[in-house]
């Protein structure tokens, strides 16, 4: 049961690290930047989960003789993650920017009518092409 629990915990923490790395890569790829607070929270999760992966992998084989030292290191990694999270959260969050101005009802109606007219033309053209292809 202990080996199963360690394997599940290791897999879960490894999955967290992989997902965080993939999301960070996607953020860079699509130029979606995180704020300072969000970066610290992600970094805290990544540090703690990465340490837990190593912890669970080594715990099965070699660390039973160093168990007390290793538990202390695990607690220190969690405390480091908490500090990484707490420090930016002590500062107040920046004020929210006002939402963008929406179109007036008349402008929205006019734009929607133009879009619908273009869609009707596309549908008619598609129908014409399909009829000529199937004859």
pLDDT of residue 84: 79
- The pTM assigned to this predicted structure is 0.48
pLDDT of residue 46: 83
Contact present, 2 and 9 (Cβ < 8 Å): no
Residues 6+ apart with CB under 8 A from 68: none
What is the pLDDT, as a whole number, of residue 109? 93
Which of these, 9, 18, 15, 14, lies nearest to 60 by C-alpha position?
9
CA-based radius of gyration for the chain: 27
Q: Can you say whether residue 21 is alpha, beta or left, with left for phi > 0 and alpha for psi between -120 and 50 degrees? A: alpha
Please report where in the chains the tokens 């007036």 appear, as a residue.
104
> Residue 96: its pLDDT value, please?
82
Q: How far is Cα 54 from Cα 64, in angstroms, rounded to an integer?
A: 14
Residue 28 has which token pair? 């860079």
pLDDT at 99: 78
Instruction: Give pLDDT, residue 50.
Output: 83
- Mean pLDDT by runs of 10 across the 135 residues of the chain is 71 84 86 81 82 74 64 77 79 80 88 96 92 76
Distance of CA 33 to the CA centre of its chain: 11
Residue ranges of domains in the chain: 2-90, 101-135
């Amino acid at each position: 049961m202990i080996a199963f629990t360690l394997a599940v915990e290791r897999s879960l923490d490894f999955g967290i690290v992989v997902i965080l790395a993939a999301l960070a890569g996607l953020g860079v790829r699509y130029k979606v930047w995180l704020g300072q607070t969000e970066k610290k929270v992600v970094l805290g999760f990544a540090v703690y989960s990465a340490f837990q992966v190593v912890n669970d992998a080594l715990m099965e084989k070699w660390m039973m003789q160093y168990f007390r030292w290793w538990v202390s290191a695990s607690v220190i990694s969690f405390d480091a993650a908490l500090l990484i999270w707490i420090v930016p959260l002590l500062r107040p969050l920046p004020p929210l920017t006002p939402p963008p101005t929406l179109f007036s009802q008349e402008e929205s109606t006019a734009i929607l009518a133009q879009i619908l007219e273009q869609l009707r033309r596309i549908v008619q053209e598609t129908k014409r092409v399909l009829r000529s292809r199937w004859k």
